[in-house]
Amino acid sequence: MDVMFMITCGRYIRSNLYLLLLIIVQFGPHTVEGVWPLPQAFTSSSERYPVNSQDFYFVYGRQSAAQQGCSVLDTAFKRYFSLIFPNHKSADGVLGFSKRKLFIVETSVDHGDCEGYPNEDSSERYNLSVSAGKATLNAETVWGAVRGLETFSQLVYQDDFGSYFVNKTEIDDFPRFQFRGILLDSSRHFLPVQAILKTLDAMAYSKFNVFHWHIVDDPSFPYQSSTFPDLSSKGAFHPMTHIYTQSDVRRVISYARLWGIRVLPEFDSPGHTKSWGKGQPDLLTPCYRGGTPSGTFGPVNPALPSTYRFMARLFKEVSSVFPDSYVHLGGDEVDFHCWRSNPDVRAFMQKMGFGGDFTKLEAFYIENIVNITSALNKTSIVWQDVFDYHERRTSLSVVEVWRAGCYLCEVRRVVKAGLRVILASPWYLDQPGPTHNWARYYTVWPLAFKGSEEQKKLVIGGEVCMWGEYVDATNLTPRLWPRASAVAERLWSDEKQTSSVDKAFPRLQDFRCKLLRRGIQAEPLYVGHCKHEYQGI
């Protein structure tokens, strides 16, 4: 993959000018509509150009701020070469061509930061122009270039004789929402690192950009903390085989980085912490029955100063291990029964003047944890429960809305309070259902509430939740894909261009076949077939 001599403009064409040029073309798998999620602005034609693996190169534009040696793009070039030419070791795509033709994909970025991490402000915009023998890809950042390479890879197709082609295409693309996440739960079932990496691959194919790692919860604590090793040695399902070592975590983060995916860790408290208690004595609240300790434990004990010292040390470690500027603090579903039963907690309530209102105690606890993470320069996300109970809402930053019912009512309340929102309620994909239900996840309109433009901008994105009660590595992939891809299009693409389920259906079927071709065990949407069926049994 040599750097070639072509010169590029080094700037993407601005979308508002570009839109004027739009020609709406017929839907068809070999045109730009074959790209999932649908790009924001595009034209394509039936003019096609041969592409073959022997004479195909990814190169850096001469004026690109990143050049060979850029880890993100060097890796992306390698990955996408294999994805575009899955059989490139055999002679593919050369049948019927006596004269070989060179095809180059010239990539240029404005900012050359190749060693950093994607963050909440990273531009993912790109501009892709495909003509005879050449595709030009321009982006502000390497993360935008990675999205553009994904698009390019989806534009290349094979004819019935095995030859590869790409059609004349112009694309100017950018995400509708900045935060497009998938939550995996590695506590209810342990997910081997391989399963996580494979999910990161599939996420990149649908242009997801946040892996929300719900890493610990009641059933197990697989995160191996260097500060508190007992948490996993006593709280994991197995202290050796069912843990994520520091090296595992680093591997996940660096693998995700190369796909432009942020890793957002969640250490949910004060509820959902049963497994924490095994390795950290005195952390959880002892529950009482009839005036004596019952032997069971409730949420984290908010009445002890030692709790906050422990949390400060834990989050200090977490903040340095996970580079992302966001951290998820949980805060959902706190059961007050145990706190109420405990005389020390009740005495603390008296002292603090909380009366009998345990939501105040919860707010006090979360306020402390938010302060701890703020001091570590992290933006905290909390589940909506915290917002609902909190009086001093201004100390909060980002609220994740997860409850069913009128979730847009909640979104509206949160943005009215001036806080940012991530929407998860309509996208609980851990719940099984016939795959044709994908339309249920597709026909979600996250901004369909009354509010100002400024308020709507506070909806920073959405998230697919794959809770682990019934999910592990055996069924994660077919349960996630292609249903999560429906969500991906909702979060990336223009809503007006993607409001029709009927138009989306054949495109999603086609995209699901692409996932199979890439070894992703994506389940079928309905009766039918793919050219290359899943064989990996």
Q: Interface with a copy of itself by CB under 8 A: which residues?
A: 188-190, 192, 194-195, 198, 219-220, 237-238, 241-242, 431-436, 468-475, 477-478, 516, 521-529, 531, 533-535, 537
Per-residue burial over 416-447, b if 16 or more Cβ lie within 10 Å, else e, is ebebbbbbbbbbebbeeeebeebeebbebebb
In 88-240, which ranges are E strands?
Answer: 103-109, 126-131, 134-139, 157-158, 164-173, 179-185, 210-214
Distance of closest approach, residue 219 Cβ to a copy of itself, in angstroms: 5
The amino acid that residue 21 corresponds to is L
Distance of closest approach, residue 434 Cβ to a copy of itself, in angstroms: 5
Q: Determine if the peptide bond prior to 265 is cis (ω within 30°).
A: no
Rg, Å, the chain Cα set: 25
Among 333, 391, 469, 533, which one carries the catalytic annotation?
333
Between 180 and 479, whose beta carbon lies closer to a copy of itself? 479
Q: What angle do CA 510, 514, 515 make, to 5 degrees?
A: 115
Between 327 and 513, whose beta carbon lies closer to a copy of itself? 513
Between 237 and 364, whose beta carbon lies closer to a copy of itself? 237
Distance of closest approach, residue 62 Cβ to a copy of itself, in angstroms: 40
Between 160 and 502, whose beta carbon lies closer to a copy of itself? 160
Decide: residue 301, CB within 10 A, 0-12 exposed, 13-18 middle, 19+ buried: buried
Q: Is 333 annotated as catalytic?
A: yes
Q: Is residue 186 classed as helix, strand or coil in its secondary structure?
A: coil
The amino acid that residue 124 corresponds to is E
In 453-504, which ranges are E strands?
Answer: 459-466
Between 162 and 451, whose beta carbon lies closer to a copy of itself? 162
Between 369 and 513, whose beta carbon lies closer to a copy of itself? 513
Distance of closest approach, residue 492 Cβ to a copy of itself, in angstroms: 24
Distance of closest approach, residue 221 Cβ to a copy of itself, in angstroms: 13
Pairing of strands 103-109, 134-139: parallel
Cβ atoms of 52 and 124 closer than 8 Å: no
How far apart, in whole angstroms, are the C-alpha atoms of residue 334 and residue 475?
A: 29
* Tokens at 364, concatenated: 């006090």
Between 188 and 507, whose beta carbon lies closer to a copy of itself? 188
Distance of closest approach, residue 343 Cβ to a copy of itself, in angstroms: 32
Cβ atoms of 353 and 300 closer than 8 Å: no
- Looking at the DSSP bridge assignments, the partners of residue 166 are 49
Pairing of strands 420-423, 41-51: unpaired
Q: Is residue 170 classed as helix, strand or coil in its secondary structure?
A: strand
Distance of closest approach, residue 533 Cβ to a copy of itself, in angstroms: 6
The amino acid that residue 251 corresponds to is R
**Active site residue ranges:** 333
